[in-house]
Amino acid sequence: GAVVSQHPSWVICKSGTSVKIECRSLDFQATTMFWYRQFPKQSLMLMATSNEGSKATYEQGVEKDKFLINHASLTLSTLTVTSAHPEDSSFYICSAAGLGLAGAPPYEQYFGPGTRLTVT
């Protein structure tokens, strides 16, 4: 149980285009989803927290107009990188926390496998 998927696993896009990354909780309802960014050989940096049906809460320094997050259902959140540039190239990881997980506190996060974004 507690499986989180991401799609795509990797994507290459041209500078100036937008790309959407999906994060799905497969066997539980994710009341909260988190989006992280990880640069090579570095730790995960939280970008934003999204609660189903609400606007995302962005961390300081993260451009909300550039990184659009939608959490329209209890099993799906999307991150759209708008007008991507090479400096947006990174590994994006989502995690999900929620109800319906036997024995799991609501704040325990389950991580997706990540999406490698390369902007050329």
Partner 1 sequence: AQSVTQPDIHITVSEGASLELRCNYSYGATPYLFWYVQSPGQGLQLLLKYFSGDTLVQGIKGFEAEFKRSQSSFNLRKPSVHWSDAAEYFCAVGARNDKIIFGKGTRLHILP
User: Which spans of this chain sit near partner 1 (rule: CB under 8 A)?
Assistant: 6, 34, 41-44, 46, 49, 91, 93, 95, 105-114, 116
Q: Nearest approach, Cβ of 94 to partner 1 (angstroms)?
A: 9
Q: How far is CA 111 from CA 18, 36, 43, 61, in A?
A: 24, 10, 14, 23
Q: How many residues are recorded in the chain?
A: 120
Q: Nearest approach, Cβ of 52 to partner 1 (angstroms)?
A: 15
Nearer to partner 1, 3 or 72 (CB): 3
CA distance 48 to 60: 9
CA distance 63 to 120: 20
Nearer to partner 1, 81 or 112 (CB): 112
Q: Nearest approach, Cβ of 114 to partner 1 (angstroms)?
A: 5
Cis peptide before 40 (omega within 30 of 0): no
Specify which residues 70 forms β-bridges with: 78
Q: What is the DSSP letter of 18?
A: -
Nearer to partner 1, 62 or 82 (CB): 62
Nearer to partner 1, 16 or 106 (CB): 106
Q: Nearest approach, Cβ of 87 to partner 1 (angstroms)?
A: 20
